[in-house]
Amino acid sequence: MIDELLKYQEADGKLRAIEQEIVSTDERKKYMSARKFLEKAPEKLEALDARATEFRLMFERLEKKYAEIADTIKDYENLDEMVDEQGGEISFYKKNAAAIADNLKNLKAEINKLVSQIEKTSAEYAAAKKQTIAMQRQYKEYKEKYAAVKETRAAEVAAIEAELAKIGKEVPAETLAKYKAKRKEKVFPVVVEVSGNRCPQCGMELSIADISKLSDGSFIECDSCRRILFKRK
């Protein structure tokens, strides 16, 4: 059985080599880059839009408050008349007027800061929108190019897959299923022969019980890298 499994892995290695060549192409890299960007773009744009809306509402509230305070301070323009009509110390009114003026000054600074934030968010949104449009074009272009690259290797892939299907019939279903599961996890080589008392791939030292199982002709699984280990008698 081990010979059949190793033959299967050998053929699978050819398929893996083709897969890696395709993955490393510029067409695939640009396609994946655009796809990942577009997957996150709606969330980013929505967040920027929500932030801009929040800033606009804050601006409207501050602007209203500013107008109210500005109207209030007008009442202090003629302090002499207020003292004559209402009586009281002029210093009291001056103190109130100064406090209101400071409040107005601080509020104006807060409004200016908010305006700056709104402009910055607006620029970020415009840039993100522009980049999204560019990535939509890139996605469409390189999706087609990536498909064309895969098509050039389709015959080779089909031939290897047919070979794998043929060899796979000679391997126990349970063992093959375990092999495929590990291959899907990007473990390769999946099956390796042990020499000495360590895994030849990760260097993990095997237990006495594991070495005993190997000596009996059984497969074991490395506790570290999860590869299938065997030892010829």
One domain for residues 139 and 36: yes
The answer on 185 and 126 residing in a single domain is: no
**Same domain, yes or no: 137 and 74:** yes
For the question of whether the overall pTM of this predicted structure is more than 0.85, the answer is no
Ranking 105-109, 174-178, 201-205 by mean pLDDT, the lowest is 105-109
Domains held by the chain: number: 2
The answer as to whether 89 is a domain residue is yes
pLDDT at residue 154 greater than cutoff 70:
yes
Instruction: Out of 67-71, 161-165, 210-214, pick the least confident.
Output: 67-71
User: Rounded distance, CA 154 to CA 15, Å?
Assistant: 11
Q: Provide the domain limits for residue 125.
A: 2-159
* 136/61 same-domain check: yes
Based on the domain organization, do 106 and 206 belong to the same domain?
no
- 104, 135, 159 - which closes a domain: 159
Same domain, 145 and 187: no
Return the sign of the alpha-carbon dihedral for residues 123, 129, 134, 138.
Answer: positive
Note whether 54 and 112 are same-domain residues. Answer: yes
Structural domain contains residue 142: yes
Report the alpha-carbon distance of residue 172 to residue 189 in Å, rounded. 19
Q: Is 195 helix (H, G, I), strand (E, B) or coil?
A: strand
